Structure 1
Amino acid sequence: MLPLLLITRRPGERLRIDDEIQIKVIDVIGSHVSLGFHAPKHIPIVRSELHERTIDTEGKDKEPGLKSVPASPSPKTRS
């Protein structure tokens, strides 16, 4: 696993990744954090548990010599 960069932000504050991705802290209630993402449509943004589930499903369903097609969860529309 790669080293983890820890950055502290408050609601309303933002982070930038390169010139294309912006993450905004919307709200913090107890241990729950709501984040908003601005990114180009060609960059997928998926919760890690859905990504891991897709990888697990591909491994179980895949037969030798056949390519599997990942099940895509319906992403929320970005505005």
Structure 2
Amino acid sequence: MLVLSRKLNEAIKIGDDIEVKIIAVEGDQVKIGIDAPKRIDIHRKEIYLAIQEENSRAASFSSDLLTKLSLQKGEE
């Protein structure tokens, strides 16, 4: 992991397309702005993990459903 120190209004570049800028520092909270192309999804980590879990659950459900449908079709 790369660890960098930044001050208010300073930024970090990630590749050519992404810039992360320190917008405000208020107590123990830091507000950041992220400038990135629309094609790049940006989520808080807890939201990202929830999306991954839901996608995994949906994929598992779809697989189970296909298996059940295949078994039912074979019984006909």
Normalization by structure 1: what TM-score? 0.70
Q: Which residue of 2 aligns with 1:31?
A: 28
How many residues align structurally? 63
Q: Which residue of 2 aligns with 1:58?
A: 55
Unpaired segments of 5 or more residues in structure 2? 66-76
- How much does 1:57 deviate? 1.8
Which has the larger helix fraction?
2
Following TM superposition, the consecutive aligned residue runs of length 4 or more in structure 1 with deviations greater than 2 angstroms are 58-62
Cα distance in 2 for residues equivalent to 1:17 and 1:59: 29
Q: Which residue of 1 aligns with 2:9?
A: 12
Cα distance in 2 for residues equivalent to 1:49 and 1:15: 22
The answer to whether the aligner puts 1:22 opposite 2:19 as a matched pair is: yes
- How much does 1:65 deviate? 5.4
Alignment deviations for residues 11-52 of structure 1 (CA, whole Å, 9 cap, x no partner): 100110111101110011122110001111111111111010
Instruction: Name the larger-Rg structure.
Output: 2
Identity across the alignment (%) = 32
